[in-house]
Structure 1
Amino acid sequence: MAQDDRRRWDEKYRSRGPAAVDTLQPPDFLRPYLDVVPRAGHALDLACGQGFAAVWLARRGLSVRGVDISPVAIEHARALSVLSGVSERCRFDTFDLDDGLPPGPPVDMIVCHQFRDRRLDAAVIERLAPGGLLAVCCMSEVGADPGRFRAKPGELTEAFAELDLIATGEGEGSAWLVARARSSPRNSPRSSPRKQ
């Protein structure tokens, strides 16, 4: 990612200031599906920003690695994990996802909120452990103007068709998907997705 982009994100997070513990909640798109979110294991939060989702997952019981291009966001995320009492279950690193996913073993959950890079789709699928959960939400062309960073109609469902779809939706400029990696490539039936 260009240095200009990094500076822009740093300035955005600097102007917001550190996050407050009382703002910790699951991402809105994930709230109806909390029953499928694991309470143990390892998670990866891509473009984690100030660490809201990562720290929420750590409070839920997971060990979470969050990565973001902005050192300011990472500083805020680390502070939030300390204030929330879960710093031992959180690791935050400055990382440019233009270089691919950070190295590491398979994880039980990947969350990607308000970030989309089509080049990472295959790597995201490969990084999920068998039965691992993917929760992704990004800007969409559905209900909004087309744009470079907006998913086209049906894009997330198509991109992650290899996973068992739990739920998906798009509208009002947003698209989201919750899906699970198959435990066995041959014997896992596709579930019927729920739409909102």
Structure 2
Amino acid sequence: MSPVAPPSPFVATHLDLIRRGGHVLDLACGNGRNTRLLLEHGFRVTAVDINMEGIRDLEGHSQLTSLALDMETPGDPWPISRHVTTPLDGIVVTNYLHRPQFPYIATSLKPSGGLLIYETFMAGNEQYGKPSNPRFLLQQDELTEAFADLSILAFEQGYREAPSPAIVQSLCARAS
């Protein structure tokens, strides 16, 4: 297994806004950089990715449920609903974008308190590398528009120097 990158600084900064000990979904968890952070902070985590190889070393962790799911299967925009049947205290999404999921993400949060932390690439990132396909790049203010029904607590967009140069949008929002 390759070394695990450090967690997203934006996620780390806003993590304490999620109900202590709550149930958090790490969508498109990849190598588990944010899953590990969530577990270290005492959350119950459901980690979802098409391939669970990146978190194989976490198998057996009492607070972790891992789900190998293709989140982009035509006709099934939110397969998580077959596995997670109660509203979530938090949802973390980093470096992943599949717009048909936006409404499902919002409605999967616990009313009056569920927290969304979403960070991914936006238009302009082409100059720094992948992703460069417009399908995988947010447009200006797209996250605030997509999640306008949530209370926006923090929003950033533009150039990010670390961990590597990129153009990103970062949103932290609470269900009200």
> Which TM-score band applies after superposition, normalised by the shorter structure?
0.7 to 0.9
Match of 1:157 in 2: 144
Partner SS state of residue 78, structure 1: helix
CA positional deviation for 1:179: 0.4
Q: Structure 2: how far apart are the matches of 1:18 and 1:90?
A: 21
CA offsets 1:29-70 (integer angstroms, 9 cap, x no match): 233334413321101111010112112111111110111112
Partner SS state of residue 172, structure 2: strand
Q: Structure 2: how far apart are the matches of 1:19 and 1:124?
A: 29
Q: Structure 2: how far apart are the matches of 1:63 and 1:78?
A: 17
Match of 2:116 in 1: 134
Report the CA distance shift for 1:51/1:32 in structure 2 as closer, same or farther (over 3 A): closer
Q: Structure 1: how far apart are the matches of 2:90 and 2:146?
A: 17
- TM-score normalised by structure 1 residue count: 0.73
Which has the larger share of helix?
1
CA positional deviation for 1:144: 4.6
| Alignment: residue pair count | 156
Match of 2:24 in 1: 43
Q: Aligned letter for 1:92?
A: S
Partner SS state of residue 140, structure 2: coil
Larger Rg: 1
Q: Structure 1: how far apart are the matches of 2:28 and 2:53?
A: 14
2:155 aligned residue (144, 168, 177): 168
Q: Give the alignment's Cα RMSD to 1 decimal.
A: 2.0
Match of 1:185 in 2: none
Partner SS state of residue 48, structure 1: coil
Q: Structure 1: how far apart are the matches of 2:110 and 2:19?
A: 12
* Residue pair 2:18, 2:114 contacting (<8 A) in 1 also: no
Q: Structure 1: how far apart are the matches of 2:105 and 2:71?
A: 12
Q: Structure 2: how far apart are the matches of 1:125 and 1:30?
A: 17
Partner SS state of residue 137, structure 1: strand
Large movers: runs of 4+ above 6 Å: none
Report the CA distance shift for 1:31/1:64 in structure 2 as closer, same or farther (over 3 A): closer
Q: Which has the higher contact order (CA 8 A, sep 6+)?
A: 2
- TM-score normalised by structure 2 residue count: 0.80
* Residue pair 1:19, 1:76 contacting (<8 A) in 2 also: no
Provide structure 1 residue ranges, at least 5 long, that are not aligned to the other structure: 1-16, 183-196
